């Protein structure tokens, strides 16, 4: 079966950010072509994991405006019968949205994009075109901006109502914008006539009213295209031959940079432009690893600094209340960044921070013992906020699982470097694992269909679906804290296989348990499938996940199943943790790093085989064993040239394995066949090239 990306499961409500890189103006363009500005709610004001209902404004008694204060939609005033609306997002490396509305005798289209200049001017611009048919006749009309949020005066260089929007802590307040319109947007329009004009929304700087002309807007569009052509999200080659996947990668990288911003002199990767606009400790681990894969090591470390300035006097590293796992994930982030940077000195410098975090976590474990043997998480943790579909504070498994993972990361690093306290960390981790595994045996149960599963919450009063939060198990197993052939992993795969038929990915795994998809949880499962030798299923999940993005190649955190009448959504859009996971999954399918070694080409879809025009190339992609160049290019019908080069890192892999279904020609010394489709490569072989032949060639 050929895999395609056609966005067949795209959400009904689409939000696309048109802001620039590191831009504090996170303007959103909706599926109706409206420009949405000033999201009003605070990043931590989360009710049941979704946008607070009391913050929603009502439009036409049907759609909430998703908590935006100002919304502007280009309109014309003459009568015509609406036929259809389409949107085009053009080059995936550019944040330009074109909306086209077709009526019986009118075509109305507009491009929406951001603009700035060296004088501090910052605007969003709507460049429109109104065209009538040969049978139109004539009519008096006006092209105007309809105000769907707070109302203001005429959109002609009039300052909107006073007021300001408070961004997350550390981000400057942004004043209300000023709207501009070009001349010529009103009068008699005749058959076969074309009107062009523009609206501008000024956020910063000064612009005289007569300076905003159609020529100005068109020049701004040319500037915008040139700007995005100059932005390179991936600073090193990161290419796959399937151009639909490559376009997803380009868009994912761009959206990650659009959400990034400077907060109190520290540059932070933010998950999204609205509800998740801010720094998040757990998400930060994945953003940092992805940034390294994009060649952005300095920005990844800046993110880590932003996280570490949240360390409390008690040693915890925490932003959200009761989110106790944050400390452990922050420790994993420290270790992982130092590994990818091959910087043992930085790890030694941050070791006291790790030890303080461990002591805090251990004291919390001790606090759980005081709750008595009747407390179900006794010997693990006090009631915690589980996240990812598990509420709280309550006794639950996501916290001890993540703490074990963080402690094992710290122990391996500390043991290798002979750092004081490493054994203490391991003893704590082993004790926690022993207690947790006994509890897992106690709590594992079965669904109504007889499928065994572990409820991630131990609170018997909660009514969670069996699959709620189970992406945590996938994360911990991917990091090898659960054996890939363990019962808990086998049960996980059986469960998700039973709930992924309708749209190709599991449903009900997040905050919205009924008829809803937590879209990027599917990528966590796919990562584990890569590690467990389930290539076909991993590929299916990657493409199904991509098809739940909008055509602008961004995801909503949670959305309803297409076949249901539910309209519930949850979380941000664009949700850039999803973008991060897409990039990470693509990398891991081609080059998978494990605790002890490296797998080359563990999952290579047929669509990713090189062609004469398109190669597969990862340039200096980071691992703790050193940076790796991996290049696969078309050699001839059924044959491909594989070139590999690994720089020396601070750690040496115990194995380097290659997966290939066919034969290998020009085989270098140091290759040994270890299975039907597997070769072991001498880890001392730092570079090689060989020919890979397809089966039967």
Is position 272 within any domain? no
Task: Read off the pLDDT band of 41 (50, 70, 90).
Answer: low
How much is the pLDDT for 563? 94
- Spatial distance between the Cα atoms of 583 and 575, rounded to a whole number of angstroms: 14
Q: Are residues 30 and 179 in the same domain?
A: yes
How much is the pLDDT for 42? 41
Mean pLDDT within 501-513: 93
- The answer, yes or no, to whether residue 167 has pLDDT greater than 90, is no
How much is the pLDDT for 154? 32
Structural contact between residues 601 and 571, judged by C-beta atoms closer than 8 angstroms: no
Highest mean pLDDT among 50-59, 168-177, 387-396: 387-396
Mean pLDDT within 186-206: 94
- The answer, yes or no, to whether residue 156 has pLDDT greater than 50, is no
Q: Which pair of structure tokens corresponds to residue 336?
A: 């992982």
Task: Read off the pLDDT band of 46 (50, 70, 90).
Answer: very low
Mean pLDDT within 276-286: 91
Is position 330 within any domain? yes
Mean pLDDT within 49-57: 34
Is position 368 within any domain? yes
- The answer, yes or no, to whether residue 56 has pLDDT greater than 50, is no
How much is the pLDDT for 179? 84
How crowded is the C-beta side of 614, counted as CA atoms within 13 Å? 14
Q: Which pair of structure tokens corresponds to residue 220?
A: 């701004």
More confident residue, 633 or 567: 633
Which residues, in sequence order, are CB contacts of 210 under 8 Å at separation 6+? Answer: none
- The answer, yes or no, to whether residue 161 has pLDDT greater than 70, is no
- Spatial distance between the Cα atoms of 557 and 379, rounded to a whole number of angstroms: 33
pLDDT tens digits for range 305-334? 999 999 999 999 999 889 999 999 999 999
How much is the pLDDT for 150? 56
Is position 569 within any domain? no
| Count of Cβ atoms closer than 10 Å to residue 564 Cβ | 13
* Final residue belonging to a domain, choices 485, 504, 520: 485
312: Cα separation from own chain's centroid: 28
- The answer, yes or no, to whether residue 532 has pLDDT greater than 50, is yes
Q: Which pair of structure tokens corresponds to residue 221?
A: 């569009």
Which residues, in sequence order, are CB contacts of 404 under 8 Å at separation 6+? Answer: 429, 432, 433, 436, 476, 481
Residue located via tokens 């072989």: 685
Domain extent, residue 216, equals 22-230
User: For 462-518, where are the alpha helices, taking DSSP H only?
Assistant: 471-478, 487-497
Q: In the chain, pLDDT over 70 holds for what percent of residues?
A: 92
How much is the pLDDT for 471? 96
Q: Are residues 333 and 219 in the same domain?
A: no
How much is the pLDDT for 512? 87
How much is the pLDDT for 49? 32
Q: Are residues 460 and 315 in the same domain?
A: yes
* Final residue belonging to a domain, choices 230, 263, 282: 230
Which residues, in sequence order, are CB contacts of 343 under 8 Å at separation 6+? Answer: none
Which residues, in sequence order, are CB contacts of 523 under 8 Å at separation 6+? Answer: 541, 542, 545, 578, 581, 582, 584, 585
Task: Read off the pLDDT band of 147 (50, 70, 90).
Answer: confident
- Spatial distance between the Cα atoms of 498 and 143, rounded to a whole number of angstroms: 52
Q: In the chain, pLDDT over 90 holds for what percent of residues?
A: 81
- The answer, yes or no, to whether residue 176 has pLDDT greater than 70, is no
Instruction: For residue 22, count CB atoms less than 10 angstroms from its CB and return exposed for 0-12, middle for 13-18, buried for 19 or more.
Output: middle
Q: Are residues 165 and 314 in the same domain?
A: no
pLDDT tens digits for range 338-350? 999 999 999 999 9
Task: Read off the pLDDT band of 70 (50, 70, 90).
Answer: confident
Residue located via tokens 């939060």: 469
Is position 623 within any domain? no
How much is the pLDDT for 277? 86
Is position 193 within any domain? yes
- Spatial distance between the Cα atoms of 494 and 444, rounded to a whole number of angstroms: 14
Is position 379 within any domain? yes
- Spatial distance between the Cα atoms of 544 and 336, rounded to a whole number of angstroms: 29
- The answer, yes or no, to whether residue 219 has pLDDT greater than 60, is yes
User: Helix 535-546 crosses helix 576-590 at what angle (to 10 degrees)?
Assistant: 150
Mean pLDDT within 144-162: 50
Q: Are residues 180 and 321 in the same domain?
A: no
Task: Read off the pLDDT band of 455 (50, 70, 90).
Answer: very high
Mean pLDDT within 188-198: 97
Task: State the chain's mean pLDDT as an integer.
Answer: 90
Residue located via tokens 């420790």: 331
How much is the pLDDT for 209? 83
Q: Which pair of structure tokens corresponds to residue 266?
A: 């520290």
Q: Are residues 222 and 315 in the same domain?
A: no
Q: Are residues 325 and 216 in the same domain?
A: no
- The answer, yes or no, to whether residue 63 has pLDDT greater than 60, is no
Mean pLDDT within 555-584: 93
Q: How far is CA 196 from CA 32, 37, 200, in A?
A: 20, 24, 14
Least confident of 169-173, 466-470, 520-524: 169-173
Query: Is the sign of the CA dihedral 682, 683, 684, 689 positive or negative?
Result: positive
Mean pLDDT within 544-569: 94
Structural contact between residues 405 and 478, judged by C-beta atoms closer than 8 angstroms: no
Please indicate, yes or no, whether the overall pTM of this predicted structure exceeds 0.75: yes
Q: Are residues 200 and 112 in the same domain?
A: yes
Q: Are residues 209 and 335 in the same domain?
A: no
More confident residue, 146 or 380: 380
Q: Which pair of structure tokens corresponds to residue 451?
A: 């499928």
Q: Are residues 462 and 324 in the same domain?
A: yes
- The answer, yes or no, to whether residue 168 has pLDDT greater than 50, is no
pLDDT tens digits for range 607-641? 999 999 999 999 999 999 999 999 999 999 999 99
- The answer, yes or no, to whether residue 159 has pLDDT greater than 70, is no
Q: Are residues 95 and 223 in the same domain?
A: yes
Least confident of 220-224, 277-281, 393-397, 555-559: 277-281
- The answer, yes or no, to whether residue 98 has pLDDT greater than 60, is yes
Is position 466 within any domain? yes
Which residues, in sequence order, are CB contacts of 256 under 8 Å at separation 6+? Answer: 233, 269, 287, 290, 291, 294, 576, 579, 580
How much is the pLDDT for 165? 25
- The answer, yes or no, to whether residue 470 has pLDDT greater than 90, is yes
Q: Are residues 78 and 200 in the same domain?
A: yes
pLDDT tens digits for range 203-215? 889 898 889 999 9
Q: Considering its fold, how many domains does the chain have in total? A: 2
Least confident of 178-187, 223-232, 547-556: 178-187
How much is the pLDDT for 71? 83
- The answer, yes or no, to whether residue 498 has pLDDT greater than 50, is yes
How much is the pLDDT for 40? 67
How much is the pLDDT for 650? 92
* Final residue belonging to a domain, choices 485, 519, 549: 485
Task: Read off the pLDDT band of 85 (50, 70, 90).
Answer: very high
Q: Is the peptide bond before 239 cis (omega within 30 degrees of 0)?
A: no
- The answer, yes or no, to whether residue 151 has pLDDT greater than 90, is no
């Amino acid at each position: 079966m050929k895999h395609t990306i056609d966005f067949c499961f795209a959400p009904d409500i689409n939000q696309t950010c048109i802001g620039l890189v590191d831009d504090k103006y996170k303007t959103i363009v909706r599926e109706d072509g409206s420009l949405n500005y000033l999201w009003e709610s605070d990043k931590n004001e989360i009710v049941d994991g979704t946008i607070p209902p009391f913050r929603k404004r009502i439009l036409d008694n049907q759609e909430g405006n998703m908590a935006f204060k100002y919304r502007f939609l280009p309109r014309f005033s003459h009568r015509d019968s609406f036929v259809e609306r389409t949107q085009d997002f053009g080059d995936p490396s550019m944040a330009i949205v074109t909306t086209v509305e077709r009526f019986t005798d009118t075509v109305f289209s507009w491009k929406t994009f951001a603009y700035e200049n060296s004088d501090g001017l910052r605007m969003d611009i709507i460049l429109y075109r109104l065209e009538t048919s040969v049978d139109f006749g004539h009519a008096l009309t006006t092209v105007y901006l309809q105000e769907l949020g707070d109302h203001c005066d005429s959109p002609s260089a009039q300052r909107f109502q006073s007021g300001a929007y408070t961004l997350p802590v550390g981000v400057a307040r942004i004043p209300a914008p000023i709207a501009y319109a070009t001349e010529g947007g009103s009068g008699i329009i005749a058959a076969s006539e074309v009107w062009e004009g523009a609206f501008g929304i000024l956020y910063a700087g000064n612009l005289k009213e007569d300076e905003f002309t159609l020529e100005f807007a068109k020049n701004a569009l040319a500037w915008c295209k040139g700007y995005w052509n100059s932005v390179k999200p991936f600073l090193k080659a990161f290419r796959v031959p399937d151009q639909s996947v490559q376009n997803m990668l380009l868009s994912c990288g761009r959206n990650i940079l659009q959400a990034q911003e400077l907060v109190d002199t520290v540059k932070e990767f933010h998950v999204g432009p609205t509800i998740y606009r801010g720094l998040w400790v757990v998400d930060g681990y994945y953003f940092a690893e992805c940034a390294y894969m994009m060649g952005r090591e300095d920005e990844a470390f800046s993110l880590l600094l932003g996280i570490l300035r949240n360390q409390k006097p008690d040693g915890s590293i925490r932003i959200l209340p009761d989110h106790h796992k944050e400390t452990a994930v922050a420790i994993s982030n420290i270790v992982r960044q130092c590994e990818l940077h091959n910087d043992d000195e930085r790890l030694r410098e941050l070791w006291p921070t790790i030890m303080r975090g461990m002591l805090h976590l251990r004291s919390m474990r001790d606090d759980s013992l005081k709750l008595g043997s009747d407390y179900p998480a006794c010997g693990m943790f006090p009631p915690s906020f589980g996240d990812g579909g598990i509420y709280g504070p309550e006794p639950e498994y996501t916290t001890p699982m993540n703490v074990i993972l963080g402690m094992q990361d710290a122990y391996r690093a500390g043991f290798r470097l002979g750092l004081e306290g490493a054994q203490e960390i391991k003893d704590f981790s082993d004790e926690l694992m022993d207690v947790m595994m006994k509890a897992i045996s106690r709590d594992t149960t079965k669904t109504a269909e007889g499928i065994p599963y572990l409820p991630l919450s131990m609170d018997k009063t909660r009514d969670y679906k069996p699959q709620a939060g189970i992406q945590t198990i996938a994360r911990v197993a991917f990091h090898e804290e659960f054996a890939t052939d363990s019962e808990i992993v086998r049960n996980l795969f059986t469960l998700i296989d039973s709930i992924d038929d309708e749209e190709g990915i599991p449903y009900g795994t997040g905050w919205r348990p009924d008829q809803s998809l937590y879209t990027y949880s599917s990528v966590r499962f796919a990562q584990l499938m890569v590690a467990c030798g389930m290539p076909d299923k991993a590929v299916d999940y990657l493409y199904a996940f991509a098809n739940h993005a909008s055509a602008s190649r961004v995801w909503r955190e949670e959305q309803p199943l297409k076949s249901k009448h539910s309209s519930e959504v949850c979380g941000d859009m664009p949700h850039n943790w999803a973008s991060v996971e897409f990039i990470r999954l693509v990398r891991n399918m081609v080059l998978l790093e494990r605790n002890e070694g490296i797998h080359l080409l563990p999952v290579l879809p047929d669509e990713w085989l090189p062609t004469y025009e398109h190669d597969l190339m990862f340039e200096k992609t980071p691992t703790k064993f050193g940076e790796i160049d991996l290049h696969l290019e078309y050699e001839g019908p059924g044959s491909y040239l594989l070139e590999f080069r690994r720089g020396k890192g601070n750690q040496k892999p115990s194995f380097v394995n290659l997966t290939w279904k066919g034969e290998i020609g020009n085989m270098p010394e140091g290759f040994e066949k270890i299975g039907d489709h597997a070769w072991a490569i001498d880890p001392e072989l730092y570079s090689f090239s060989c020919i890979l032949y397809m089966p039967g060639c």
